A and B are shown apart, each in its own frame.
Chain A
């Protein structure tokens, strides 16, 4: 082969961010913000370059390549290597992660400059980029691993970064601990998912004898034939991991709280990349799922249910980022449903386009928030009860932040599925495969898509249209170029993202088929496209009609009157957090308390203490014999003498 092969460069996608973080760790604080930010961006950018080189290499040599780096765990039959797997699937993920990652790094240079000042600790600027680079490294490990265990390293590593970044302003939030609590919640919820993944891995090792993707998938058919129950268990436990990481029912609850992190984090980790890891996992293991129809059904319903459920909640939120968070959950539901239906390519397609437009939306939201914050400082608000993220406090921002408004509009339209933006094509592919195979799923997803358009319309209207509802919104201002430049690039991608897998061309389909096997290319069904497009337009229009009129300051959502208690449910996220607190957290707390106090201190500690006390009581009673009276000792001696003599006589 004449073309140069760059496969050996693959470890650098991990090493480059690691170098970036090490340098920042050592000198980042001393060399200032510009250096820390740009060096971290450079590291990620280089990782993106490496990813492109890998993609170029793959285009001429589409077979999977494994680049071993070293041994990791070797015990008996258990052999796990640090090894990278370059195939079309992993490279797609790498491109998304490092590409969107680089843009968000650049955005963060400007965003964090303001954020550290707003929150009053400039010393944490470098730390932010250290964490971001660590995240990129972990995510790269996740997507480029050649075995389940190494993937798990990245899997937990991104969870850690998520924890660190959600709790970045660990002294802020509700009661001062809100952010720290949110971070902990995210990590622990993810750990519940990881528990499932661990069990799945144990089962894989016991039944396959290896963790390596190639070998496992090679044997999958055989094992499924012999032990269908085991395969079902593996896939279901894996699904638990997926629901944790990709925020699906029932483990989605951490993602809305995760919005406590700085906005670039929400964009990068909690929208574009990390949360899609679950989708990636199912795509990677699509061979498993193809073998177990029951598991497929479960996955698909989990995804569809999440898509609809989260969309309803998004409808009732006022926090600009929370709406996007629930929207993310909902869109992840689409992807999971897609991979559950076997439409892996459609899922991956949506994953990519979603990374573009949802990343865009979050970053733009960040720009809006900082704009409002600036306005807030300008207006000298006593900032305690003022929440710059509350959409009720905004309004009319299209004038103050025109550029942000435009990119936001593009993102929102893409998300709503308006042709010919990226979201239209990817969502359409999912709907088509549902239409063809699972009508029930189709109905649920279409409903979710309608709600998506509606809540995006609501958000657009509340934030950008009408008149400013507060002084801060009135005085809000546009962000600097370093912030808006990534927005524009992402907007461009959101517009053009559909090209990746245009109906009839199927670039992505062909590309991924080298890894996922030849699938049936999704047809373009006019009926479906029509339905979804019309519904999206109706949703947007309806939202516009309902919300554009509201300008008064004491903001009451118009839907509240129309839907009544139903809206209260949406507003309160259907009380799921409270439900979990009641059935899991509080019982565990009570159980731990019961174990700690009555059981450990009261029973187990008393066993030893009781033995000691028994000995003591015995000694105490014997001690009384030693009364100090000589005559009484003499009497006892005599008693002994008499007894011995009596014994001698009676013998």
Chain B
């Protein structure tokens, strides 16, 4: 029995670390992983509140989040592969063709 605030704080910390990682790294795959980290933090919040309110809906949402995350990773990594084929790099800063 831990105070409910603790896992929430943990989620916030993980989420922020994901953000910082996203902003710091140029490796597109690492950036992806940071996204997963943020998803994870969000999931933790869902679970915590599912537990707190004793309802199943939080868990259901986690399932959906995971599904979407899986789909996103599949497409994202496929994109990464395609981009790497043309650019020979996965440096995200090189993917700036859409600049003004």
* A contacting B, Cβ–Cβ less than 8 Å: yes
Interface residues of A (CB under 8 A from B): 622-631, 634-635, 638
Q: Which of A623, A631, A634, A635 contacts B100 (CB 8 A)?
A: A623
Inter-chain contact A627/B23, CB cutoff 8 Å: no
State whether B97 touches A638 (Cβ < 8 A).
Answer: no
Select one of B31, B95, B100 contacting A626, CB under 8 A.
B100
Residue B57 at the A interface, CB < 8 A?
no
> What sequence of 0s and 1s flags, for each residue 65-100 of chain B, a beta carbon within 8 Å of any chain A beta carbon?
000000000000000000000000000110111111
* Chain A minimum-CB-distance residue to B20: A638
A629 engages B23 (CB within 8 Å)? no
B62 within 8 A of A: no
B96 touches A629 (CB 8 A): yes
A630 near B95: Cβ-Cβ < 8 Å: yes
Q: Are B92 and A635 in contact (CB under 8 A)?
A: no
The 10 closest A-B pairs by CB, nearest first: A628-B96, A628-B99, A626-B100, A623-B100, A627-B99, A628-B98, A629-B96, A629-B93, A630-B92, A631-B23
B22 at the interface (CB under 8 A from A): yes
Q: Which interface residue of A622, A626, A628 has the most chain B CB atoms within 10 A?
A: A628
In the bound complex, CA of A627 to CA of B92 (Å): 13
Instruction: For A627, give its contact among B19, B26, B31, B100 (CB under 8 Å).
Output: B100
Cα separation A634 to B28 with both chains bound (whole Å): 14
In the complex, chain A residues whose CB is within 8 Å of the CB of B92: 629-631
* Across-interface contacts of B23 in A (CB, < 8 A): 631, 634-635, 638
For the complex formed, measure the closest distance between the CB of A623 and the CB atoms of chain B, giving whole angstroms. 4
Q: Are B96 and A625 in contact (CB under 8 A)?
A: no
A629 surroundings in chain B (CB, below 8 A): 92-93, 96, 99
Can you add 5 more A-B contacts, CB < 8 Å, to A629-B99, A631-B23, A631-B93? A623-B100, A627-B99, A629-B92, A631-B22, A634-B23
A623 to B99, CA, bound (A): 8
- CB contacts under 8 Å to A, within B18-32, are 19, 22-23, 26, 31
CB distance from B22 to the nearest CB of A (A): 6
Q: How far is the CA of A313 from the CA of B62 in the complex (A)?
A: 112
For this complex, 8 residue pairs linking A to B, each with C-beta atoms less than 8 Å apart, are: A624-B100, A628-B99, A628-B100, A629-B92, A629-B93, A630-B92, A631-B93, A635-B23
CA distance A629 to B96 in the complex (A): 5
> Is B95 within 8 A of A638, CB to CB?
no
Q: How far is the CB of A624 from chain B (nearest CB, A)?
A: 7
Judge whether B96 and A631 touch: CB under 8 Å: no
Contacts of B93 in A (CB 8 A): 629, 631
CA distance A355 to B89 in the complex (A): 101
Residue of B nearest to A635 (CB): B23
Please name all residues of chain B whose beta carbon is closer than 8 Å to the beta carbon of A622 when the two chains form the complex. Answer: 100
Of all chain A residues, the one with the shortest Cβ separation from B96 is A628
Find the B residue at minimum CB distance from A623.
B100
Chain A residues positioned under 8 Å from B19 (CB to CB): 638
CA distance A628 to B95 in the complex (A): 7
Distance to closest chain B CB from A393 (angstroms): 80
Q: Which residue of A lies closest to B24 (CB)?
A: A631
Q: Kindly state the separation between the CA atoms of A630 and B83 in the bound complex, as whole angstroms.
A: 15
Q: B22 and A627: CB pair below 8 A?
A: no
> Which residues from chain B contact A627 at a C-beta distance below 8 Å?
96, 99-100
B97 to chain A: which residues have CB within 8 Å? 628
Looking at B22, B98, B100, the one whose CB has the most chain A CB atoms below 10 A away is B100
Contact partners of B26 in chain A: CB under 8 A: 631
A421–B22 CA distance with the chains assembled, in angstroms:
117
B100:A625 contact, CB within 8 angstroms = yes
A638 to B93, CA, bound (A): 18
How many Å from the CB of B8 to the closest CB on chain A?
16
> B22-59: contact bitstring with A at CB < 8 Å (1 yes, 0 no)?
11001000010000000000000000000000000000
Q: Bound complex: CA of A635 vs CA of B23, how far in Å? A: 7
Give the docked Cα–Cα distance between A444 and B53 (Å).
Answer: 124
- In the assembled complex, the CB of A29 is this many whole angstroms from the nearest CB of chain B, namely 69
Cα A622 to Cα B100 with chains together (Å): 9
Residues in A whose Cβ lies below 8 Å from that of B98: 626, 628
B1 to nearest A CB, angstroms? Answer: 30
CB distance from B14 to the nearest CB of A (A): 16
**Chain B residues whose CB sits within 8 angstroms of the CB of A634 once the complex forms:** 22-23
Nearest opposing residue in chain B for A638, CB measure? B19
Residues in B neighbouring A635, C-beta threshold 8 A: 23
The distance in angstroms between the C-alpha atoms of A627 and B23, with both chains bound, is: 15
In the complex formed, the residue of B with least CB distance to A622 is: B100
Tell me the bound Cα distance from A627 to B97 in angstroms: 9
CB-based nearest B residue for A625: B100
Query: In this complex, what residue of B is CB-closest to A620?
Result: B100
Cα–Cα distance between A599 and B19 once the two chains are bound (Å): 58
B19's nearest neighbour on chain A, judged by CB, is A638
Q: Name the CB-closest residue of A to B28.
A: A630
Q: Closest B residue to A619 by CB, please name it.
A: B100
Whole-angstrom distance between the Cβ of A532 and the nearest chain B Cβ: 93
Complex: A531 Cα to B31 Cα, angstroms: 120
- Shortest Cβ distance from A630 into B: residue: B92
Whole-angstrom CA separation of A628 from B22 in the bound complex: 16
Instruction: Determine the chain A residues whose CB is within 8 A of the CB of B96 once the complex forms.
Output: 627-630
Smallest CB separation, A524 vs chain B (Å): 99
Minimum CB–CB distance from A628 to chain B (whole Å) comes to: 3
Bound: A628/B23 CA distance, A: 14
Measured in the bound complex, the distance between the Cα atoms of B31 and A622 in whole Å is: 27
Complex Cα–Cα for A474 and B31 (A)? 111
Chain A residues contacting B22 (CB-CB under 8 Å) are 631, 634
Q: Say how far B11's CB is from chain A's closest CB, in angstroms.
A: 16
